[in-house]
Structure 1
Amino acid sequence: MWKKLLTVTVVLNVIVSLMIAWFMEEWSHTAQGKLPSKTAVILHAVNNNLVTVDADIEPPGFLLSASKKSEERELIREDTTIPLDSDYTLPVRIYHYADLEHAPVILYFHGGAFLEGYGSIDTHDNIVRALAEKTEAVVVSPGYRVAPDHVFPTAVNDSYQSLKWVYENAEKWGGNPEKIAVAGDSAGGNLAAVTALKSRDLHGPEIIAQLLYYPLTTFKDVKLESRTAYDSGYYLLSRQVMLKARNAYTPKEDMWNNPYTSPLEADTLDGLPPAMIMTAQYDPLRDEGELYAEKLHEAGVPVQAVRYNGVMHGFVSFFEVMKSGEMALNESELFLDKAAADEIVYDDEFSLTVQKVPAGMQRVREEAEAFAIAAFLVGKRTLTTLIP
């Protein structure tokens, strides 16, 4: 009897495994080519509302690739406010260790298309926390005001005021006001770049580095391959959302040429801090981010441009389960450490580094994690179907 039961169990397991593998293969095929399994599984989950973009998608614990730099020291989180000239206060979140002295400071602007409901200090909390853990810096994330209630230049002004506030208050948390870096993703990457520009123009606090994850760099209608190829929304950013953001945040066309909305259109980028710009292969913002890197280099600014293949817009937010996201954070740590030590030098030749899809044992691990997540998703959808 037990032999028959064992045989049935094995057969069922094989059937289920083949079914999951078939689903993964189906999810991997797109009009733009075949996606890596991990990317395909996560995109399927988000696009079919099986999870939200900011949800914790985790395979079994023994498969998790993310690691923390230190679990012995307690990372402190503080939520406070930044007073503005208009008697309005911005919410701000700060991560730091208790024993810091003269530590670098990272001012991080969250993404979210400049629109209410698309991003906040809460949706990007994992990135901010991870940067604090990895770099041992004081990381400050302000909740700047967004459209449609607040159009340009409100978010820019909030961001610059946040920079000045950080400069004046960094020492309270063990930070060094002379070693402030700006960082951000997507719309936040735009604000980080713009804050560096504005601080240069107004002779504001010195910024030692700018870390830009897949930044939006121009609101103008420019013909770029990535904007056309990956604008469907399947890769987590659609043309529809980009147009909605532009109409809400920059309702007047003359705003699109302003360097404080479109840093790619700035007359000069001379004198800006060293930059690291990371882009994603399957991202409508890929080309403009890389063009901005080239323009920075032409202006004499040290810049590291890195494209991650096999991933989509927002991939760093999934660093707990995507090896590429974890690698991007590790590269960010190295860049920021060098910037704080004033060790970044200008290279006469501009180059775009392409990080390939994980291979070898890393690829095996990614496939195993993708299978585990896919099994969870298939099981969740099955239960949802059986139990409405």
Structure 2
Amino acid sequence: MWKKTIKITIFLSLIISLIIAWSIEDWSRTVHGKLPSKTAVILHAVNNNLVPLDPDLEPPGFLASNSGKEGQVTMVRDEESIQLNNEKEIPVRIYSYSDAKEAPVILYFHGGAFLEGYGSIDTHDNIIRSLAARTGAVVVSPGYRVAPEHVFPTAVNDSYRSLEWVYENAERFGGNPEKIAVAGDSAGGNLAAVTALKSRDSNGPDIFAQLLYYPLTTFKDIELNSRSTYDSGYYLLSKQVMLKAREAYTPEEKMWNNPYTSPLEAENLEGLPPAMIITAQYDPLRDEGELYAEKLHEAGTPVTAVRYNGVMHGFVSFFEIMKSGEMALNESALFLTKAADESIDLEKEYKLTVQKAPGGLNRVKEEAEAFAIAAFLVGKHTFTTVTK
């Protein structure tokens, strides 16, 4: 009897494994080629509402990656407010270590299409926290005001005021006001680039580096291959959302050519801090981010440009379960450390580095994790279907 039970169990396990493997293979096939298994599984889960689009959710323990220094000493989180010039205020979150002293400061602007409900300091808390852990820096993230209630230049003014606030208050958190970097992703990458421009133009606080994750760099209608190829929304950013953001944040066409909305259109990009620009293969914003990297280099700014293959817009937010996201954060931390130490090679030639999808043992690990996640998704879908 027990032998028959074992045979049945093995047979059912094989059937289930084949179903899961077939599902992953099916999810991986797109009109743009075959996706890496992990990317395909995550996109399937998000696009079919099988999991919430909230990268700050805790991953399963066996999928979580280490966050560097975090846990060895006390990580302190402070919640404060930044007083604006019009007597209003915006929230700000600060991560620092309890032993921080004259540490570099990273001013991080969250993504979210400049729109209410698309992003906040809460949805990007994992990136903010991890950058602090990996660099030992004080990381400050302001909740700048967004559209449709607040159109351009509100977000820009809030961002620049945040830079001034950091300069004025850095020492309270163990930071060095003479060592401030700006960083951000997507819309936040735009604001980081614009804040660097505005600080240069206004003789504001010195900025030692700018870290831009898949930034939006122009609101103008220009022909870009990545915009037309990956704009369906399947890769977590759609043309529909981009147009909605433009209409809400920059309702007047004359705003689209302003360097403080579209830094790619700026006539003068000289005198800006060293930049790292990270882009994703399957991202409508890929080409404009890389074009901005080229223009910065042509203006004399040291630029490190890296494209991660096999991943989509927003991939860094999924670093707990995507190896490419973790690699990008590690590269970012190394860049920021070198920039803070003023050891960036100012004379190096511009080159777009392409990081391939993880290979070797990392690929084996990614495939195994993709299978585990897919098994969960298939099981969840089956249970939901049966219990309806």
Question: TM over 0.5: same fold?
Answer: yes
Q: AA paired with 1:121? A: I
Q: Conserved in 1, the CA contact under 8 Å of 2:302 and 2:348?
A: no
Equivalence for 1:256? 256
Q: AA paired with 2:132? A: A
Per-residue deviation, residues 258-298 of structure 1 (Å, max 9, x unmatched): 00000000001000000000000000000000000000000
Equivalence for 1:327? 327
Q: AA paired with 2:220? A: K
CA separation in 2, counterparts of 1:259 and 1:5? 70
Residue correspondence of structure 1 range 42-61 to structure 2 within 5 A: 42-55=42-55, 60-61=60-61
In structure 2, relative to structure 1, the CA distance for the partners of 1:60 and 1:100 (3 Å cut) is closer
State the 1:225 CA deviation.
Answer: 0.3
CA separation in 1, counterparts of 2:61 and 2:18? 23
Equivalence for 2:132? 132
Per-residue deviation, residues 226-245 of structure 1 (Å, max 9, x unmatched): 00000000000000000000
CA separation in 1, counterparts of 2:84 and 2:276? 30
CA separation in 2, counterparts of 1:29 and 1:354? 22
Equivalence for 1:84? 84
Q: AA paired with 1:220? A: K
In structure 2, relative to structure 1, the CA distance for the partners of 1:264 and 1:376 (3 Å cut) is same
Equivalence for 2:157? 157
CA separation in 2, counterparts of 1:341 and 1:58? 33
Q: Conserved in 2, the CA contact under 8 Å of 1:59 and 1:373?
A: no
State the 1:382 CA deviation.
Answer: 1.3
State the 1:57 CA deviation.
Answer: 6.5
Q: Conserved in 1, the CA contact under 8 Å of 2:63 and 2:320?
A: no
State the 1:350 CA deviation.
Answer: 1.2
Equivalence for 1:40? 40
CA separation in 2, counterparts of 1:64 and 1:387? 31
State the 1:55 CA deviation.
Answer: 4.4
Name the SS for the 1:363 alignment partner: helix
CA separation in 2, counterparts of 1:60 and 1:187? 29
In structure 2, relative to structure 1, the CA distance for the partners of 1:129 and 1:48 (3 Å cut) is same
In structure 2, relative to structure 1, the CA distance for the partners of 1:55 and 1:295 (3 Å cut) is closer
How many matched pairs?
Answer: 388
Matched, 1:212 2:212: yes
State the 1:185 CA deviation.
Answer: 0.1
Structure 2: runs of 5 or more not aligned = none
Q: AA paired with 1:209? A: A
Q: AA paired with 2:41? A: V
State the 1:54 CA deviation.
Answer: 1.2
State the 1:386 CA deviation.
Answer: 1.9
In structure 2, relative to structure 1, the CA distance for the partners of 1:387 and 1:56 (3 Å cut) is farther
Q: Conserved in 2, the CA contact under 8 Å of 1:219 and 1:261?
A: yes
Q: AA paired with 1:256? A: W
Name the SS for the 1:80 alignment partner: strand
Residue correspondence of structure 1 range 1-388 to structure 2 within 5 A: 1-55=1-55, 60-388=60-388
Name the SS for the 1:165 alignment partner: helix
State the 1:347 CA deviation.
Answer: 3.2
Q: Conserved in 2, the CA contact under 8 Å of 1:63 and 1:365?
A: no
State the 1:64 CA deviation.
Answer: 3.8
CA separation in 1, counterparts of 2:383 and 2:288? 42
Structure 1: runs of 5 or more not aligned = none
CA separation in 1, counterparts of 2:202 and 2:314? 31
Per-residue deviation, residues 358-382 of structure 1 (Å, max 9, x unmatched): 1111100000000001111111111
Q: Conserved in 1, the CA contact under 8 Å of 2:182 and 2:196?
A: yes
Could you tell which deviates more after superposition, 342-351 or 81-90? 342-351
Q: Conserved in 2, the CA contact under 8 Å of 1:105 and 1:176?
A: yes
Q: AA paired with 2:186? A: S
In structure 2, relative to structure 1, the CA distance for the partners of 1:79 and 1:63 (3 Å cut) is closer
Q: AA paired with 1:371? A: F
Percent identity of equivalent pairs: 75
State the 1:72 CA deviation.
Answer: 2.2
CA separation in 1, counterparts of 2:48 and 2:56? 16
Q: AA paired with 1:29? A: R
Calculate the aligned-residue CA RMSD, in Å. Answer: 1.1
Q: Conserved in 2, the CA contact under 8 Å of 1:64 and 1:369?
A: no
Per-residue deviation, residues 94-149 of structure 1 (Å, max 9, x unmatched): 00011111000000000000000000000000000000100010000000000000
CA separation in 1, counterparts of 2:174 and 2:14? 56
Q: Conserved in 1, the CA contact under 8 Å of 2:56 and 2:123?
A: no
Q: AA paired with 1:373? A: I
State the 1:71 CA deviation.
Answer: 1.5
Q: Conserved in 1, the CA contact under 8 Å of 2:55 and 2:124?
A: no
In structure 2, relative to structure 1, the CA distance for the partners of 1:13 and 1:228 (3 Å cut) is same
State the 1:80 CA deviation.
Answer: 1.0
Q: AA paired with 1:41? A: V
State the 1:52 CA deviation.
Answer: 1.9
In structure 2, relative to structure 1, the CA distance for the partners of 1:66 and 1:226 (3 Å cut) is farther
CA separation in 1, counterparts of 2:138 and 2:34? 40
Q: Conserved in 1, the CA contact under 8 Å of 2:282 and 2:311?
A: yes
In structure 2, relative to structure 1, the CA distance for the partners of 1:56 and 1:151 (3 Å cut) is closer
State the 1:61 CA deviation.
Answer: 2.8
In structure 2, relative to structure 1, the CA distance for the partners of 1:91 and 1:59 (3 Å cut) is closer
CA separation in 1, counterparts of 2:69 and 2:12? 41
State the 1:177 CA deviation.
Answer: 0.3
